[in-house]
Amino acid sequence: MPVRLKSDQVICEPIRCLLSDVDGVLTDGRIIYTSEGHESKEFHARDGLGIKRWMQSGLPFGIITARSSPIVSRRCEELGVTHVVQASRDKLQDAHAIAETVGCTLGQMAYIGDDQPDVKLLREVGLAAVPADAARDAKQAAHWILKTDGGAGVVRELIERIMRAQATWELESDRLKPDQSA
């Protein structure tokens, strides 16, 4: 008997919260230090817009990362992300804490990660996603291997795919009344 794959609508229906790793997901994974010792990271603007659209729809978004960086704090503040765990020693435990705070279960969460520290959490959430260039172990734990590499808008790809499946993704122009168009 052939295996029946679940549709995006069925997979995404219970998702009420999205969590993301940073290095290798919101960034391309490179950590750059200047000669003065300052750290540098690049974030993709499409991820930022996707995160804002997700939160504007009333759904919580959070960050769980093993590293700690003032740059991550700044980006989260800029986007309005309030569920932020840096220097995580146990991402699964931290996800449980966020789930309790936002009032959902791990089965109602999506998580996107890219490497071994993410595998435990990827195996427990309702929707586990990884960038196209994720490490093998993370890919094996994922429900979805996305088309985009980390740092190139992969979080936006995930958000748009979930929201389209939930019929909550709409274009700005779709929200305008006919007499409000430019």
SS3 state of residue 44: coil
DSSP string of 77-133? HHHT--EEE-S-S-HHHHHHHHHHHHT--GGGEEEE--SGGGHHHHTTSSEEEE-TT
What are 72's two structure tokens? Answer: 């991550």
Detail the residues annotated as belonging to a binding site for Mg(2+): 21, 114
With CA atoms as reference, report the closest residue to 61 among 128, 109, 132, 115: 109
- Known binding residues for substrate are 23
- Binding-site residues sit at 21, 23, 114
